[in-house]
Structure 1
Amino acid sequence: MPKITTQQLRKNTQASAANAAVKPATIGAPQRPPRAAQKDGAADGSRHFGPMFNKNLGQHILINPLVSQGIVDKAGLKQTDTVLEVGPGTGNLTVKILEQAKRVIACEADARLAAELTKRVQGGPLQHKLEILHGDVMKRDLPFFDVCISNTPYQISSPLTFKLIFHRPIFRCAVLMFQREFAMRLVARPGDSLYGRLSVNCQLYSKVTHVMKVGKNNFKPPPNVESSVVRIEPLNPPPPVDFAEWDGLVRIAFSRKNKTLAANFKATATMQMLEANHRTFCAANGRIVEDGFQIKGAVLGVLEQLGYGETRASKMDIHDFLKLLSAFHDADIHFC
C-alpha cells in the first residue's frame, strides 16, 4: 500500500466533513412555494376566473347564473334593444344580455377584464353583437342605448345614477346592482329612516322600484356588504324643474332632516346665502331691493303661508317640495 502522509490525511478528513454538511434533497418531496406566492392567488377566490380582481375598483364578479338571469328578465329586453352595460367584468351577465338584445355596449375600465370578455365571445355567434368601450364611464359621453344594466362598482353608485337620469335621449329603464343601503335610500318614502336628499332627487326624475336582494356569496370575491337590484324608469317627459334650484332647497331642508324647516332655514349661513342670491337676482332682472328688506322675514313668511314652518323634511313628499320651491320663487328667493 502506498504511504499516506499526515498532511494528506488532514485534507481527506476536512473534505469528508464538508461533504457531510451538505444534506441531499429528498427525492419526490414537494417543493413548498414561497410564503408570498401562497398568498398571491387569493384564498378569497379573486382568481376564480382570469386575472386577479381589484377590490379597490369595486371588482366583485357576479357568479350566480340565476341572479344574472333574474336581472336580465327584470329589464324586459326586446330583440331590437341596444343595451349599455357598465362594469361587465368577465362577462357572466354580458352573455345573457347578448342572447336577448340586438347589441351590447360594454364599458369596462380594466383592460385585463376587457380582454377576458373579448376572448369569451371571440369566434362565437354573439361576437358581432358586442362592442367594448375601454375607459372610465364617468369620464366619457354615453352612447345611445335603450336599456342600461350594471353590476355597479359601489364607489360610483351615486354619480352613475344621476349621469343616467340626466342622459338624453331618455332611455326606457336601467336595472342596477347597488350596495343594499344605497339601494334602499333610492326607494325610501317619506317617514322611512333612510329617506333623504338622495331619495327626493332621484324620485323627482324617475320611478324607482326594488327588484331583489342579492347576498354577498353570489360574488367572487365576496364584498363586505349585501347588495340589492333596483329598476329605474326615467319620467318622460321630465318635470320642468331647474335641478340646481331644486337641489339647493332640498339640501337646506335635509341639513338636519328631523328638525323643522323653520329651524333649518334660520341658520346664519343659510340666511346669508339666500340674501346674496336675492340681491343678485334683483340686480340681474332690473329690480330694486326694497328698503328695510329682511331675508329672514321673507323666508319665514313663505313657510308660514304654506303651513310648513313646523314641518320636518323627513315627512315631506315630492309635491310638498315642488310647492315650496314655487312659493319661494314667487317671493324672488332663489337657491343658486
Structure 2
Amino acid sequence: MAPIRKKKDKLQQLSAKNVKKKSIIKESVSQASNVRFNKDFGQHILKNPLVITSMVEKAALRPTDVVLEIGPGTGNLTMKLLEKCKQVVACEVDPRLVAELRKRVQPTAYSQNLNIIVGDVIKAELPFFDLCVANIPYQISSPLIFKLLLHRPLFRCAIIMFQREFALRLVAKPGEKHYCRLSVNTQILAKVDHIMKIGKNNFKPPPKVDSSVVRIEPINPPPKIDYNQWDGLVRICFSRKLKMLRAIFKGNKIADMLEKNYKTYCATQNKTVDDSLNFKQYIEDILVECKLADKRARTLDLDDFLNLLLAFNSKGIYFA
C-alpha cells in the first residue's frame, strides 16, 4: 500500500502547486475581481498577461521615461509599466478604481513612481510625458487621438488599444474601404501602424467587438499648417466621399459658406469684391487648376489635400 500512498501524496502536492500557481496568475491579472465594472465608462479590463507584456515590449520603454496611461483600471498594465520606466501618470475617471489602484501599488517599491490624475482625460490638463501606453475606453477614441497629437511638447510614441474598426480607419490608405476623414487628419500629424489584433475574450467583461493595438508616432516637427483650416477642408471633402469634388463644392450650402469666408477675408485685406464674380465658377476653376475637380476624397492622398488647401488659401478662400 505504501507505493500507492506515496503516489497519492505526490498527486496531491502537484495539485496543490497547480492551484497555487493558478491563484498567483489570477491575482496578477486582476487584483480587483470584486469590483463591478461600469460599462458607461467603457471599463473592459485587459486580463491577458501576454497581451500586456507585448504592449509594453512594443513601447520600447527607457528607464528615464514618463508614461501616460489612460484608464488604468485595476492596474494590470500599470504594474508592468512601473517595472520599466521612471514614472507612470495614470488618468482614471472612476474613484473606485483609483482606490483599487492605490491599494495595489502602495505596498510595492513603485508607490512613489505613480501619479494618478482623477478625472476625465479629455478635460484634464496633461503634464509632460514621453510615451502613452493604454487600453482606453473606446468611446473617447477620436477626441483622445487629437488631444494627444496636439499636446506640446510632443511625445515620442503611443501604443494604444482601440476598437478594431476604429484602428483600421486610423491606418487606412487612399482607396481602401476604411479611408476617411479620421485617416487623413491623423496621418497628417503622425505615422500610424497596426501592431496586433486582440480578441474580445482577452477582457473582463468581454466587449462586444474585437480590438487592435496601434502604434502612433507624431511627426516631429509637425507640418506647418493651420490645423483648423486643414480640418475644415477635409470635413467638406469627406461630407460626400463618393462624389467628385466638383459636385461637393457646387452645393449651395458649402458654396455660400465659402463665399462668406471669402468676403470676410477681402474685407480684412482691404480688397474690393467684384460683384459680378460667379463664386461657384471661381471654386471650380481652382479645383480644375489642381487637377482634382473630378477626383473623389476617398482617392486623395495627403499631398493632394495639402495642394488643394494651398490653392484655395492663395485665392482668398479659407475654411475656418
**TM-score clears 0.5:** yes
Kindly state the Cα deviation for residue 295 of structure 1 after the two structures are TM-superposed: 1.3
The answer for the alignment partner of 2:120 in structure 1 is 136
Amino-acid identity (%): 57
**Alignment counterpart, residue 104 of structure 2, candidates 114, 117, 120:** 120
The answer for the alignment partner of 1:66 in structure 2 is 50
After superposition, the Cα gap between the structure-2 partners of 1:47 and 1:101, relative to the gap in structure 1 and judged at 3 Å, is closer
Give the counterpart letter for 2:298 in structure 1: S
Aligned counterparts of 2:205 and 2:89: Cα–Cα separation in 1:
25
**Secondary structure, in 3 states, of the residue corresponding to 1:300?**
helix
Give the counterpart letter for 1:274 in structure 2: L
**Alignment counterpart, residue 163 of structure 1, candidates 119, 140, 147:** 147
* Contact 1:50–1:116 (CA under 8 A) maintained in structure 2: no
The answer for the alignment partner of 1:154 in structure 2 is 138
Structure having the higher Rg: 1
Moved over 6 A (4+): none
The answer for the alignment partner of 1:13 in structure 2 is none
5+ residue gaps, structure 2, are 1-29
Kindly state the Cα deviation for residue 47 of structure 1 after the two structures are TM-superposed: 10
**Alignment counterpart, residue 182 of structure 2, candidates 177, 183, 198:** 198
The answer for the alignment partner of 2:4 in structure 1 is none
* Contact 1:47–1:53 (CA under 8 A) maintained in structure 2: no
**Alignment counterpart, residue 306 of structure 1, candidates 262, 287, 290:** 290
Kindly state the Cα deviation for residue 161 of structure 1 after the two structures are TM-superposed: 0.5
* Contact 2:32–2:74 (CA under 8 A) maintained in structure 1: no
Aligned counterparts of 1:57 and 1:169: Cα–Cα separation in 2:
28
The answer for the alignment partner of 2:13 in structure 1 is none
- The CA deviation string for residues 304-335 of structure 1, in whole angstroms up to 9 with x for no partner, is 11111111110100000000110111111111
**Secondary structure, in 3 states, of the residue corresponding to 2:306?**
helix
**Alignment counterpart, residue 53 of structure 1, candidates 37, 43, 48:** 37
Aligned counterparts of 1:276 and 1:50: Cα–Cα separation in 2:
59
After superposition, the Cα gap between the structure-2 partners of 1:84 and 1:48, relative to the gap in structure 1 and judged at 3 Å, is closer
* Contact 1:98–1:104 (CA under 8 A) maintained in structure 2: yes
Give the counterpart letter for 2:264 in structure 1: T
Across the aligned residues of Structure 1 and Structure 2, the Cα RMSD in angstroms comes to 1.2
- Provide the TM-score with structure 2 as the length reference: 0.89
- Provide the TM-score with structure 1 as the length reference: 0.85
**Alignment counterpart, residue 214 of structure 2, candidates 226, 230, 242:** 230
Give the counterpart letter for 2:250 in structure 1: K
* Contact 2:42–2:138 (CA under 8 A) maintained in structure 1: yes
* Pairing of 1:1-336 with structure 2 (within 5 A): 49-336=33-320
Kindly state the Cα deviation for residue 129 of structure 1 after the two structures are TM-superposed: 1.0
Kindly state the Cα deviation for residue 48 of structure 1 after the two structures are TM-superposed: 6.5
Aligned counterparts of 1:198 and 1:92: Cα–Cα separation in 2:
30
Greater helix proportion: 2
Kindly state the Cα deviation for residue 291 of structure 1 after the two structures are TM-superposed: 3.2
Query: How many residues of Structure 1 are paired with residues of Structure 2 in the alignment?
Result: 291
5+ residue gaps, structure 1, are 1-45
Give the counterpart letter for 1:162 in structure 2: F
Aligned counterparts of 1:93 and 1:288: Cα–Cα separation in 2:
61
**Secondary structure, in 3 states, of the residue corresponding to 1:138?**
coil
* Contact 2:31–2:74 (CA under 8 A) maintained in structure 1: no
